Structure 1
Amino acid sequence: MNQQPNHFQRMAHDKRDPDPFLALYMDRSIPFNEEAKAAYLKDCSGKSRQFLLPVLRPFARLLIIVLQLYKIVVPKALTSSRLLHNVLYWGMRTFVGPEANFMILRHFYLGSEVLQFIRDNVPGVAIELNPLKPTNLEPVKDDLFLIHDLNLYNFVINLNRELSEKGLEMTKQERLNFDAISNSRIPIEPMPRRWTNFMDLTTAIECFTPVYQLFLTDNDFWRATNSLQLDETIGIYASRIVGSNERMALVNNKHPMVPLTTLRAGFRLVLHGLATEQLHATLVELKRQEASS
């Protein structure tokens, strides 16, 4: 990504008209990677999110309702994961802004590292992982989004099955294994920055959600949206391993046993991405503290 994280560092501070995104950038109450924070807040501060999102969001959610009714009648019509991911790849390359694409690719990368960290810090389990670490948009065409959801479900099922079968528990580790957690820059390549790449992250996700629904079976789409409820689950796993009673991330996709409707899936997906960023940033801080001690 060409955008440097010092965008807000160079921003002048007008005391009579303070920039709200500069305030969020300067705040350090929430653990967050510096480069990702600058990219995300610059993405949020754009005209697309301010003016385009309020117009497109109602239509996108109406389309979700229409497609849900359509899928009741023909649940498997027009389904093709390969076609879906080619459409997503084309949309990301053509319309999505560089900061938004950067955050999307980071999410897959960080999510894989978090799952490996949990696996590495539960002694006695030996579950196979399928890490996703894209550094450009090409891997999107290889069912990247769908595999990400499957990885999360398979991880929770396989981990807890082994714990149960072997009579093990997930407990605090006196010495944590941070091999999975990168504390250097994620090597994501520069993203497309043409005049057509104007769409912010939230608007893009709201627009892509009905497309996701259209090309997946009704069961696949429900499974994908329900995976967002596992944010709390992953946070609890990490908290047990670290030995902290506090959540390892700000979790808004609350109780995993209370599935929500698909209508707000786009908004919840943004929260899911931020929860992953915060959890990973917290683990990076712990890794650095351990190294310094």
Structure 2
Amino acid sequence: MTKQRQSAFIRAIAADNSLPIEKVALALWIKDLDNPFRWTLRPILQLFFALLLHLTWFLKRLPFPQFSGHTLLQKMICWFCKNLVSPEANLLILRHFATESNVLNFLSENSGKSVFVDLYPKCVDDMLRDTFVKHDQELFDAFYHFGDAKEAECKPRSALTWQRWQAIDMQAFQLERKASQVIDFETAHALFMCLFCFLLKRDEYRDAINGFNLDQSIAIRIGRIIDKPEIVEMAYNKYPHYLVGPWDLSQRFLMHGFFTEYLYAELEQIRKSEACTNKNKESAR
């Protein structure tokens, strides 16, 4: 989307830096917004698949024997990503693994814990191993071991540790681009969400779609560590004690992605600033 074609609002959000987000992630999202399928195909598919999702949700809640197909689920998602999902959307998906892994690792090592996440796929095929299912389970396991949130104390910037932090290098991502890759991020999610519900056990799926609400808890803990309690406002998904169903799932999923991008960018800015300070100190000696 060239600047001449951009609407006044798109130009405004492209220039606004009130919320922390890396320019490359913002550029990917703005390009995704210009995808014609987002404004034509997505509304129809979201309506159809939302109805199908609620029907699948209802059937999975019935007292029938539970089944799951994690391997099949991941293979189907990866096939869709490699053949139908746009490069911009694929890059945003790959970035999400890295942003959330970094956020959780930062929280763990600066809370004195040793529960770490190592989900940093560099290509679509890596997601067969670094799976969405594993992504959710490692999030829950991390929170189980994080302990008392009141123990998260404010630390001087010089005392923060970044040993598990992996800065995102866009050049490290490997994508084979095909002419058939035309589907935008939100349309792709509309295609995926019924597969998740059908191929996960009912409690696995219920936990996965409620895991977004841990965003508020993550923000509270990290806000205390870096002495920025206002970052809680970045969390759209809140109140994990109230379990929800699949309604408004697409928006909650998307806002979870934005949240991790915001928090990653905030922490990366702190890391770079501290590294620059240390470098200047070393040069002055």
- The TM-score, its normalising length taken from structure 2, stands at 0.89
1:1-293 counterparts in 2 under 5 A?
11-13=2-4, 18-73=7-62, 75-77=64-66, 79-123=68-112, 125=113, 127-142=114-129, 144-160=131-147, 163=148, 169-174=151-156, 175-183=159-167, 185-247=169-231, 250-293=234-277
Of Structure 1 and Structure 2, which has the larger fraction of its residues in helix? 2
Cα distance 1:239–1:185, how it changes in 2: closer, same or farther (>3 A)? Answer: same
Cα distance 1:81–1:18, how it changes in 2: closer, same or farther (>3 A)? Answer: closer
The answer on whether the counterparts of 1:251 and 1:275 sit within 8 Å (CA) in structure 2 is: yes
Flag as ranges the 4+ runs of structure 1 deviating above 4 A.
74-78
> C-alpha distance in 1, partners of 2:125/2:268?
28
Gaps of 5+ in 1: 1-7
The answer on whether the counterparts of 1:226 and 1:259 sit within 8 Å (CA) in structure 2 is: yes
Identity %: 26
Cα distance 1:12–1:108, how it changes in 2: closer, same or farther (>3 A)? Answer: closer
Following superposition, the deviation at residue 249 of structure 1 comes to 6.0
Following superposition, the deviation at residue 289 of structure 1 comes to 2.3
Following superposition, the deviation at residue 54 of structure 1 comes to 0.9
- The TM-score, its normalising length taken from structure 1, stands at 0.87
Cα distance 1:75–1:176, how it changes in 2: closer, same or farther (>3 A)? Answer: farther
Q: Encode CA deviations 1:94-144: one digit per residue, 9 max, x unaligned.
A: 111000010001111111111111111123x3x332310000011222361
Gaps of 5+ in 2: 278-285
The answer on whether the counterparts of 2:107 and 2:221 sit within 8 Å (CA) in structure 1 is: yes
Count of equivalent residues: 275
Cα distance 1:97–1:232, how it changes in 2: closer, same or farther (>3 A)? Answer: same
SS at match of 2:231: coil
Deviates more, 1:108-117 or 1:246-255: 246-255
> C-alpha distance in 2, partners of 1:176/1:100?
32
Deviates more, 1:278-287 or 1:190-199: 190-199
RMSD of equivalent CA atoms: 2.1
